[in-house]
């Protein structure tokens, strides 16, 4: 069995959930990169440099945000890495990290609801389905984007576990 990196007092389920997040974001990232570089995953009516930059930027942003979930189960989620200017070596505020993670999860729920509405309502040119040219492309789109539905619940669960763990560590250190 593969050993996943995490702090010793983190529940195993939280470690697995945190490590799953970057993996569930990966298929949609690969789909966007493939689209950017001309793979026949969907039709692009007006490929521009701006569109390519947007798609690649969105991909990088999504992967970085997904990767930050690992901070909720690793050491750098409790103490900022030394190489960070101004913050290096300082403790991470549990309330701030939890609030940021839960706000991110709320944003993901809102985006998921909006994306679902756009796809099923077929809202104009922004609907991804409007650029799909067959059942194979449609299946590929759903296979790549459907895993994103799990991102918000996983992030929420890991954030709550992080908050509980950090709160219990704080309360035990205060009672000593």
Q: Quick: pLDDT tens for 111-162.
A: 999 888 887 776 766 566 667 788 898 899 889 999 999 999 999 999 999 9
Residue 168: its pLDDT value, please? 79
Residue 141: its pLDDT value, please? 87
Residue 129: its pLDDT value, please? 65
pLDDT tens, position by position, 160-173? 999 999 887 665 55
What value does the mean pLDDT take over residues 89-111?
A: 94
When the pLDDT of each residue in the chain is averaged and rounded to a whole number, the result is: 88
Cα–Cα separations (whole angstroms), residue 80 to 70, 121, 168: 13, 44, 20
What value does the mean pLDDT take over residues 3-14?
A: 87
Q: How far apart are CA 37 and CA 41, in angstroms?
A: 10
What is the reported pTM?
Answer: 0.87
176, pLDDT greater than 70? no
Q: How far apart are CA 30 and CA 35, in angstroms?
A: 9
Q: How confident is the model at residue 1 (pLDDT cuts 50, 70, 90)?
A: low
Q: How confident is the model at residue 22 (pLDDT cuts 50, 70, 90)?
A: very high
Residue 125: its pLDDT value, please? 65
């Amino acid at each position: 069995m593969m050993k996943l990196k995490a702090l010793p007092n983190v529940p195993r389920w939280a470690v697995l959930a945190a490590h799953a997040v970057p993996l569930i974001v990966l298929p949609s990232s690969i789909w966007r990169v493939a689209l950017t570089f001309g793979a026949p995953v969907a039709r692009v009516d007006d490929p521009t440099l701006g569109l390519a930059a947007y798609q690649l930027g969105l991909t990088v942003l999504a992967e970085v945000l997904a990767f930050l979930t690992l901070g909720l189960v690793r050491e750098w989620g409790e103490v900022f890495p030394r190489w960070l200017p101004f913050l290096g070596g300082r403790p991470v505020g549990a309330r701030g990290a939890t609030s940021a993670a839960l706000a991110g999860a709320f944003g993901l729920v809102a985006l998921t609801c909006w994306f679902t509405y756009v796809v099923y309502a077929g809202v104009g040119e922004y609907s991804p389905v409007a650029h799909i040219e067959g059942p194979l492309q449609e299946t590929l789109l759903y296979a790549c984007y459907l895993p994103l539905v799990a991102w918000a619940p996983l992030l929420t669960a890991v954030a709550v576990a992080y908050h509980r763990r950090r709160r219990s560590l704080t309360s035990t250190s205060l009672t000593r």
